[in-house]
Amino acid sequence: MRTMKFRVEYTDTFGGEANYSWLRVAHFDAPEDASNSMLVRRAKKALSMSGWATRTETMGETLALYPRDGSCVVMFIYAEEV
């Protein structure tokens, strides 16, 4: 099974859109055929986050996670080019 590298970006939002006035970035590996739930778990772990209930949207090859508590932040997960 082939492993891929992923990048996760965690940033603030303004008006519902990513604002990037601050940014936390992490990287992690996952199997090529990883499910979205596996990617979300690994992304949260890479950022040392837990208990963050989210709404997930698929935007092409990128996953966008929005917290259910209404916080003005977003997390993006996408495969890195190697």
Question: Which tens digits make up the pLDDT trace of 36-71?
Answer: 999 999 999 999 998 887 889 999 999 999 998 889
Q: Residue 45 and residue 10: Cα distance in Å, rounded?
A: 12
Token reading at 58:
């698929």
For residue 77, with 0-12 CB atoms within 10 Å meaning exposed, 13-18 middle and 19 or more buried, which class applies? buried
CA–CA gap between residue 35 and residue 32 (Å, rounded): 9
DSSP β-bridge partners for residue 30: 4
For the segment 2-39, what is each residue's pLDDT rounded down to a tens digit?
999 999 999 999 998 999 999 999 999 999 999 999 99
This prediction has a pTM of 0.92
